Every structure is written in structure tokens, then in C-alpha cells.
Structure 1
Amino acid sequence: MHMKIRKATAIDAKGIAKVQVDTWRSTYNNIVSDEYLAQLSYDAREEMWQKIIPINSVYVAENDQGEIIGFSCGGKKNSEEYPKYKSELFAIYILQDYQKKGIGKLLVKPIVEDLIDEEIYSMIVYVFEDNPATKFYESLGGKKIDRLHTEFSTEEKKVYELVYGWDDIRQIF
């Protein structure tokens, strides 16, 4: 399978939105409420990505047909939480059929390279605790630094997020 990784442009917002919504629905269906997943909107996500693409590092993975099948987004952290860490991997999503094929690493690499170019060497990522992708972050050397309740917690079910951190992202690749 041939895969092309490239920097996203505004035109990609629609494809990125579709991957994000579809991946949330396939990956988080036992983590997040059905109501939340049902109300996810391609149009709303597309609009959001139109705003995000120009101000962050966003990369897409395309299959042989030129369809976006995955994406990643990273940049300087927006919060004061975990002050030791200067950047965040905000999102990385890959359609279910393309997961576990090495595409995740290919999508993280250019984010890391962009951060290093900006002389930013530490990074965090927030991940649902029940997300199988926790193993992916551990394989990249991420260390668990925190465990938090999320707004997705309900009376019946507590949903936790793990925070993984890299003190030096130059060690990843």
C-alpha cells in the first residue's frame, strides 16, 4: 500500500473532518456516549479545521486514490497545564481500515520535525484511557504523567484521559 504524507491545506478540511468524525464513531463507541457520537457533524468539524489548519502543523495521509485516510495536528500548547511540556500533539486519527500499518508514526514524524525546527523539544498528548492507541504512544517513548476525569464522564460511567509526555521529542525518531 502506497501512502502519501503531506502538509494539509484549507482544501483538506472536509476530508480531515470526515476522518475525525468516522474515527471517533469507530474507536470511541464504547468510551463516549452514543448521543455525543450521533451529534458529531462533518460540517461543524470542517469549519473548525478551516480555522486550525493555518495556525498549526497539520498533516494528512492519502491512499492511492488520493483520499485522506488519516491526519495529525500539533503545535505549541494552549494551556498552562504541565508547564514543563511546551507542545502538544492535539490530534491524530486514522480510519479503522488503515490502523496498525505504521501510518501513525509517519504522521507524528513531521509534527515532531516542525516542533524541533521551532526549537521546541517537549510534548504531551491526551488520550482516552480505554483507547487502544495508548500502546502506540508508549511505543513512541511517551511516559504516562497524569490521569484525569473527562467531561465525557456520566453518572453511570467515569471516562478517564491519560496524559503522555516526552521530555525530549528528539528521542522519538
Structure 2
Amino acid sequence: MTYSIRTATIQDAAGIAKVHVDSWKSTYKGIMKQTVLDNLTYSSREASWRQNIECKGNIVFVAVNAEEQIIGFTSGCKTKEDEYPTYDADVTAIYLFEHEQGKGIGKAMLKRLLAEFKTMNYDSSIVKVLADNTSCRFYEAMGAEKIDSNPMLVAGDELELLTYGWEKI
């Protein structure tokens, strides 16, 4: 299967929302309460992604298949002020439909985002991920090192949120 990665446009918000919701439902099943996953909607995520795409400073890329259907996305921005002062950028999201995982698409999207960070003179980056998420191994394989761990409340459940970092991208 062939795919390409391109900058997201506002017209991509619905496709991104579908990947986001469907990915959460497969990725976080058994990690988050099912009610949290059941309450995710395409319409709320689409509205959120419209804002994200239009927000100055946000970078959003989509992976599309040969039919130009969105199969994954990644986004990032400058790190929050004073959060991790030695890191410049933040990989805020990277999601693929479950059936598209393991094909190198996530790796290609991450590399594209990190390359964009470099063009913005960002030399380092973080990414946050739930400890029970299998993507921790993906970030480690991509050279990120665990730099922090914090509790995170989701629907009354305390989950462990890990922060990984690349000191040099």
C-alpha cells in the first residue's frame, strides 16, 4: 500500500477526527474507562481539530492512502512555557488507524514532524504517552528517552503519564 504525508488543511478536520476517535477506542481499550471511550464523538473531535489546524504555531500533518483518505496524523508545537525548559518542541499527537500500524507510517510521520521542528530552529522535543500504551516502545525505538513520570486523572482513574524526550532531533 502506498501513502503520502502532507500538511493538513481545514478540510482534513473530519478525517483527522475519525482517525483520532477510532484510534483512541482501539489504543486505550482496557487502559481508560470504557465510558470515556464511548463518549468520544467525531463531531467534537472535528471541531477541536479545526481549531488546532488554524491555530498559529501548530503543525499538523496527515498520512493519506492512494485514494487520498486520511489514515493517520501527527501534530506538534512549541513546548509550553516553563514546562520542560530544556526542550523546544512537543509532539502533541500521533495516531494511525489500527490496521495501518506496523507499516512504517508512524515512523515516517514522526520523522516528518521532527524535520519540521528543525526548520523552526527547534533542536529538542518531548512527547507524552500513557505508561500502559504500547507506543512507549515505538518512541524508545525512535531514540526518545524517558525523562519524567506524572499521575494523570482520567474520569476518576489515576493513570501514569510518561514524558519522553529527544535532546537532539
TM-score clears 0.5: yes
Is 2:3 aligned against 1:3? yes
2: CA distance between counterparts of 1:12 and 1:79? 29
Q: Kindly provide the CA deviation profile for residues 94-146 of structure 1, in whole angstroms up to 9, marking residues without a partner as x.
A: 00000011001111122111111111111000001011110110011100001
2: CA distance between counterparts of 1:145 and 1:112? 18
Task: Provide the residue aligned with 1:135 in structure 2.
Answer: 137
Task: Provide the residue aligned with 2:71 in structure 1.
Answer: 69
1: CA distance between counterparts of 2:33 and 2:10? 30
1: CA distance between counterparts of 2:113 and 2:81? 19
Which letter maps to 1:113? A
Is 2:110 aligned against 1:108? yes
Task: Provide the residue aligned with 1:117 in structure 2.
Answer: 119
**Structure 1 segments of 4 or more deviating over 4 A?**
none
Identity %: 41
> Structure 1 length as normaliser, TM-score?
0.92
Is 2:163 aligned against 1:163? yes
1: CA distance between counterparts of 2:121 and 2:115? 10
Structure 2 residue corresponding to 1:57, chosen from 59, 80, 84? 59
2: CA distance between counterparts of 1:42 and 1:147? 30
Which letter maps to 1:70? G
Moved more, 110-119 or 11-20: 110-119
1: CA distance between counterparts of 2:152 and 2:158? 8
2: CA distance between counterparts of 1:79 and 1:153? 27
Aligned partners of 1:153 and 1:159 also within 8 Å: no
Aligned partners of 2:36 and 2:155 also within 8 Å: no
2: CA distance between counterparts of 1:79 and 1:149? 20
* Runs of 5+ unmatched residues, structure 2: none
Moved more, 33-42 or 73-82: 73-82
2: CA distance between counterparts of 1:14 and 1:153? 26
